[in-house]
Structure 1
Amino acid sequence: SREGNSPDHHMTITYHQLLRQVCRCANVLKQMGVKKGDRVSIYLPMIPELVYTMLACARIGAVHSIVFAGFSSESLCERIMDAQSSILVTAGRSSRPEFEQPGRGLKICVNTAASGCDTACFTTPWDSKCDVWWDEAMRDCPEECEPEWLDAEDPLFILYTSGSTGKPKGVLHTVAGYLLFTSLTFKYVFDYHHDDVYWCTADIGWITGHSYITYGPLANGATSVLFEGIPVHPHVGRLWEIIEKYRVTKFYTAPTVIRLLMKYGHEPLQKYDLSSLRILGSVGEPINPEAWQWFYEVVGQGRCPIVDTFWQTETTFPFFGVEPTILNEHGEELEGEAEGYLVFRKPWPGIMRTVYGNQERFESTYFKKFPGFYVSGDGCRRDKDGYYWVTGRIDDMLNVSGHLMSTAEVEAALTGHPAVVEAAVVSRPHKVKGECLYCFVTLKDSRDFNHTLVEGLKRLVREKIGPIAMPDFIQNAPALPKTRSGKIMRRILRQIARNEKDLGDLSTLADPKVVEVLFSQRCEAAA
């Protein structure tokens, strides 16, 4: 079932109807010259056409590259250029207001990107040489399309994730291993049965949506809900209303959504019948105990197990064939209760195969730090019962509302402002988002730090990366705390952002006075 942003907008799609639409779309792509191995970029909101297009690509052996609809035109352009896509499939606008940039619908965003991307084919303003309306192209296309035969290790899709250097990484997944792993994990982690109604609230623009809205559920013949809206529109009980409407049995969402809805208390839930729920799932970031408790007791009424997932493995015990271990800084394996780097001893079917076009980056990012192990980039704690608890990123990455982004990417946007000479970005705890961005900016001489500048910097980050990356706090930093070798000490900046006065060892700081100045200039709102 497809549920739109408004309760009035809904439709049911059968597997037969889905196949017909996918075949039509596949034939359209073939008519446009798309062949096995060609890349197709998709920049769409959560509408059925997004699923049709990604499956059409899979059917003809094309490699889809979906770009989250909340990203800016510049982010889209960067991803189109890196993948060298020959086609862009997009929409005029989104019904979700947070995806609209001031004065610009999704269609205009694409135009901005396309002006720097020679490879974009669905663009605005209208250009009859390369633009085609979806409905017109699909109307006369046959409803049958023979699937292309592929090798197990042929590429299925590229999905860009933030890299700690700031340049997005094109994560490449292949056909057989990925489909096997998503199909099996969906079936066993969610205990899927034929009479279940499953709903994952993620966006297909992220890996969870690829795996647990499209490929995993469809491979199991599941009945699913596809939701385009937001949790609080047109009212704060929207998610509970949908659970009641479709008698949802398996509900999979993110801690940031749970924390958002916790604010409104028990009352919105009491209007709806949630007795159909059997299993709850959490994904995107580590879930805090308060949110877990509320999810279990209030939403699940104390009777639904919570599956807390981390999709390089499973956060409680590892999934079949996945062998995690914990290493210390020196690469030594830690036994029993321990905390350190989460790594894996051997590959599993759904492991990424490479960074698209950059095998060297793939090897240096995931295998160089501890040779012989796959390094996830996360910290981890193992308790006395053998359960693994993922504690968060260990590199310069931020997890804002379940969206992973690099500090380098945000810093690059800030230093693009003519008044800024240097910037450093750290995370700060946030009651709803989990983490939020706290930015330190050093201005060029004679430039004033004021409200207008702060708003301009926030706007710049929004335009360069997207609304999800907009900083909550921007602080003036006449200088940044650095080691004698010139490396920014982010640990200290994180503590300043959190107003933690016990800074520990400062012996490697080139100028300890910098810290006092930064504390004196902390954002008042962050006190």
Structure 2
Amino acid sequence: MFKLSDPFDYENDCKYSQINPISFWDEVAKKYAHWDKMYDKVYSSDGMYPDWFKGGELNTCYNVLDKHVKNPSKRDQDALIYECPFIKKTIKLTYFQLYEKVCEFSRVLLNLNISKNDNVLIYMANTLEPIIALLSCARIGATFIVLYDGYPVKSLIDRIDTFTPKLIITSNCGILNDEIITFTSDLKDAIQLSTFKPNHVITHFRNNEDIEFNDSIIIGTIPIIPNTLDWDKEIQKIKDNNQKPFYEYVPVESSHPLSIYFPSGTSGNYKAIVRSNGGSIVGLAYSWFSCISKKDETVYLSHSSIGWATFHLGLFGSLGLGNTMVMFEGDIMKPIHYEHYLWATIEKHKINTFLTSPKTIRYLIKNDPDASKIKSKYDLSSLVSIWTSGEVIEQSIPEYIESKLKCRSSNLYGQTESGCALLFNYKRIITKQNNTLINPTPFLKPSIFSEDGIELPENQVGEVAFKLPLPPSFATTFYKNELLYKKMFNKFPGYYNSGDLGFKNENDYYGIVSRADDQINSRGFYVLLNEIETSILKHPLVLECCSIGIHHQDLANVPIGLLVLNQQQPDNSSLSSSSSSSLIDLKNQINEIIKNDMDYYSELSKIIIVPQLPKTKTGKIPRQIISKFLNEPNYQLLDSTFDRKVFYSIKELYEKNL
């Protein structure tokens, strides 16, 4: 007779969820969610469209705020901490303070006739206000769509016309890359040009006093959207009219859409992922408890944008379990900030765990190889674990975290579609191929398939797929794009195709090696581009890199390397795209590493030194888009493509080296 483990016991929960999955999720749902109306059935499905907790009603906002406010030991605990080191500003909100602000803004929404069946688009700076806004939407049953900063006008028009938001909530400006960025400039144009018009726009106006920035002229010239409502004035209006905050809440069906998200866009595909209320609360709470936070007092740092799926895993996971979440405004993805903002914040707030991209650790390995600089400046004794996610990691990353930073290294594999961890390292093992091996989260059943749908034996690389049903947090559909949603299930009937390549070893541990479309045929051999990149990064002069396949008349494709050099290495001063002898030497040195790690057919035909690589908003390098841009003469970048200038700079350097 199995019971849900607490404290977490991986073996117990795996066996329980496989032997009796209905009982398992029933117990999870009753433990982590307050139900206003108990569900009639834990799970029902017609195949790829699951219906979790059918007949049940609940409220997401209640489950992350109200239940803690009612707990005397929790109500005055910090729920959220806003940190912006660039402007030296910290704001803390306890669970009770956050609850009050959400109830106030919920009343604002109701006064504007926003209700359960409405969409609300949130396009704001990385501050506390968008969290207040989205929790208020959840409180009244509206569906929220969060966009990260930097959307061009045409993409904003598309989002407005597609999602037909009754209300748009925005900020006039924010902080990114140590400078002011504007939101209302492009949004104003987008609303004027869109076919659909929102009933209302609310702007959170930040002035010089709010962000303590020295250039008030910039803020004063930011365009204002016509007829916009002022966030602060709308809240003051409630008080002036003696209206109470909306302390009630609206229970909604478990299947009612909570939110719509967008993946980072490494392939250029556009899809809008819909997640349900019941599935999100239950799935994210269990994923957070089993993978990340085993303790009540966990303090978690997120340096993600509010538009990222990982931000929402952290938000709903940490608040659902009564933890504290520290959020960033600014950018710690710049190398100089790895050494200052990040570790200073960890020391200041006694962070226990944080999720970051491998890029952060790679920079430290190159520039602080024994972590002596960090440890001499900052007290990191509170830090227990560092999670890496978003891309395949090489062996040096977990080794550095554990041997130099003295923290547990944890690798989490998930997708925006999943909403939760799919694989994680319950027990970390490193293979000879430098892939970290990770375990399926309880309930999930992964398999490895060949291109033609044959299940592969141990230690053979194939496509990673997960047997249906999928966990409750998984996407219920793609908004207005059923064909693209169904495509995920068509290739391997009865399975979700992740689109990633991986393998399983003899002990049922799994390794992810790359995206399925991130391999090329070179000289008759299949070459994994991320493995080439792992070898390139072993060279001390290389800070970042990207390997892509270039079409070749005789060899199908040949790999080339786009390299960002480590400016802190003095040997780099003589290297540039024009110093041909130095470049040849560097290419030969790198190819020697590649040949030792892989084989001759993986050697680079060319290296190109670039000032920077394009990144998605989640910090990933869009390898497929770079490849198409360089290989296909008529390929056009989408208007929504970030770092467009970087793409054109790379193309210019590439064409000079032909």
Normalised by the length of structure 1, the TM-score is 0.75
CA contact (8 A) 2:86 2:178 kept: no
Equivalent residue, structure 2, for 1:491: none
CA contact (8 A) 1:171 1:355 kept: yes
Q: Which amino acid aligns with 2:190?
A: A
Equivalent residue, structure 2, for 1:62: 142
- Candidates 318, 321, 326, aligned match of 2:443: 321
Matched, 1:388 2:513: no
Give the 3 Å change call, closer, same or farther, for CA 222–40 of structure 1 in structure 2: same
- Equivalent positions of 1:86-101 (< 5 A) are 86-97=166-177
Give the drift of 1:461.
5.5
Instruction: Report the Cα distance in structure 1 between the residues aligned to 2:109 and 2:374, rounded to whole angstroms.
Output: 45
User: For residues 161-188 of structure 1, what are the alpha-carbon distances to aligned partners after superposition, in whole Å with 9 as ceiling and x for unaligned?
Assistant: 3679845211000011121111111112
CA contact (8 A) 2:401 2:408 kept: no
Instruction: Report the Cα distance in structure 1 between the residues aligned to 2:265 and 2:640, rounded to whole angstroms.
Output: 15
Give the 3 Å change call, closer, same or farther, for CA 434–22 of structure 1 in structure 2: closer
Equivalent residue, structure 2, for 1:363: 486
Equivalent residue, structure 2, for 1:451: none
Equivalent residue, structure 2, for 1:379: 501
RMSD value, Cα: 3.3
Deviates further, 67-76 or 340-349: 67-76
Q: Which amino acid aligns with 2:125?
A: P
Instruction: Report the Cα distance in structure 1 between the residues aligned to 2:294 and 2:495, rounded to whole angstroms.
Output: 32
Equivalent residue, structure 2, for 1:19: 99
Q: Which amino acid aligns with 1:114?
A: I
5+ residue gaps in structure 1?
401-425, 445-456, 477-496, 498-520
- Equivalent positions of 1:179-190 (< 5 A) are 179-190=281-292
Instruction: Report the Cα distance in structure 2 between the residues aligned to 1:173 and 1:160, rounded to whole angstroms.
Output: 11
Give the 3 Å change call, closer, same or farther, for CA 225–443 of structure 1 in structure 2: closer
Give the 3 Å change call, closer, same or farther, for CA 93–36 of structure 1 in structure 2: same
Give the 3 Å change call, closer, same or farther, for CA 325–99 of structure 1 in structure 2: farther
Give the drift of 1:138.
1.6
Instruction: Report the Cα distance in structure 2 between the residues aligned to 1:395 and 1:80, rounded to whole angstroms.
Output: 31
Matched, 1:310 2:310: no
User: For residues 466-512 of structure 1, what are the alpha-carbon distances to aligned partners after superposition, in whole Å with 9 as ceiling and x for unaligned?
Assistant: 33894276447xxxxxxxxxxxxxxxxxxxx9xxxxxxxxxxxxxxx
* Helix, strand or coil at the partner of 1:277: coil
- Equivalent positions of 1:122-521 (< 5 A) are 122=201, 125-126=223-224, 129=227, 131-141=228-238, 142-161=244-263, 166=268, 168-212=270-314, 214-231=315-332, 232=334, 236-265=339-368, 266=371, 267-299=373-405, 301=406, 303-311=407-415, 312=418, 313-315=422-424, 316-346=438-468, 347-364=470-487, 366-395=488-517, 435=621, 437-438=626-627, 439-440=629-630, 464-467=640-643, 470-471=646-647, 474-475=650-651
Instruction: Report the Cα distance in structure 1 between the residues aligned to 2:392 and 2:645, rounded to whole angstroms.
Output: 19
User: For residues 322-373 of structure 1, what are the alpha-carbon distances to aligned partners after superposition, in whole Å with 9 as ceiling and x for unaligned?
Assistant: 1111111111112322211111111211111101122222112x11112221
Give the 3 Å change call, closer, same or farther, for CA 428–205 of structure 1 in structure 2: farther
Instruction: Report the Cα distance in structure 2 between the residues aligned to 1:15 and 1:139, rounded to whole angstroms.
Output: 22
User: For residues 73-122 of structure 1, what are the alpha-carbon distances to aligned partners after superposition, in whole Å with 9 as ceiling and x for unaligned?
Assistant: 3323222221111211111111113886xxx7222121222222232442
CA contact (8 A) 2:266 2:620 kept: no
* Helix, strand or coil at the partner of 1:140: helix
Deviates further, 223-232 or 427-436: 427-436
Instruction: Report the Cα distance in structure 1 between the residues aligned to 2:287 and 2:232, rounded to whole angstroms.
Output: 36
Matched, 1:119 2:197: yes
CA contact (8 A) 1:171 1:352 kept: yes
Give the 3 Å change call, closer, same or farther, for CA 370–71 of structure 1 in structure 2: same
Give the drift of 1:152.
0.8
User: For residues 229-256 of structure 1, what are the alpha-carbon distances to aligned partners after superposition, in whole Å with 9 as ceiling and x for unaligned?
Assistant: 2225678321111111111111221112
Give the drift of 1:377.
1.3
5+ residue gaps in structure 2?
1-80, 204-221, 239-243, 425-437, 520-528, 534-558, 565-612, 614-618
* Helix, strand or coil at the partner of 2:229: coil
Give the drift of 1:47.
0.3
Instruction: Report the Cα distance in structure 1 between the residues aligned to 2:308 and 2:386, rounded to whole angstroms.
Output: 20
Instruction: Report the Cα distance in structure 1 between the residues aligned to 2:561 and 2:277, rounded to whole angstroms.
Output: 39
Give the drift of 1:264.
3.4
Give the drift of 1:155.
0.5
Deviates further, 73-82 or 185-194: 73-82
CA contact (8 A) 2:385 2:409 kept: yes
User: For residues 51-84 of structure 1, what are the alpha-carbon distances to aligned partners after superposition, in whole Å with 9 as ceiling and x for unaligned?
Assistant: 1111111111111110111332332322222111
Instruction: Report the Cα distance in structure 1 between the residues aligned to 2:647 and 2:236, rounded to whole angstroms.
Output: 44
Give the drift of 1:428.
5.8
Give the 3 Å change call, closer, same or farther, for CA 58–395 of structure 1 in structure 2: farther
Equivalent residue, structure 1, for 2:157: 77
CA contact (8 A) 2:458 2:503 kept: no
Give the 3 Å change call, closer, same or farther, for CA 126–163 of structure 1 in structure 2: closer
CA contact (8 A) 2:85 2:341 kept: no
Instruction: Report the Cα distance in structure 2 between the residues aligned to 1:475 and 1:83, rounded to whole angstroms.
Output: 35
CA contact (8 A) 1:336 1:382 kept: yes
What is the aligned-residue identity percentage? 25
Q: Which amino acid aligns with 1:144?
A: F
* Helix, strand or coil at the partner of 2:490: coil
Q: Which amino acid aligns with 1:132?
A: L
Instruction: Report the Cα distance in structure 2 between the residues aligned to 1:362 and 1:163, rounded to whole angstroms.
Output: 16
Structure showing greater Rg: 2
Instruction: Report the Cα distance in structure 1 between the residues aligned to 2:330 and 2:149, rounded to whole angstroms.
Output: 13
Instruction: Report the Cα distance in structure 2 between the residues aligned to 1:99 and 1:376, rounded to whole angstroms.
Output: 37
Instruction: Report the Cα distance in structure 2 between the residues aligned to 1:201 and 1:321, rounded to whole angstroms.
Output: 29
Instruction: Report the Cα distance in structure 2 between the residues aligned to 1:220 and 1:261, rounded to whole angstroms.
Output: 32
Q: Which amino acid aligns with 2:471?
A: W
CA contact (8 A) 1:296 1:306 kept: no
Q: Which amino acid aligns with 2:357?
A: A
CA contact (8 A) 1:87 1:119 kept: no
Give the 3 Å change call, closer, same or farther, for CA 7–339 of structure 1 in structure 2: same
CA contact (8 A) 1:3 1:11 kept: yes
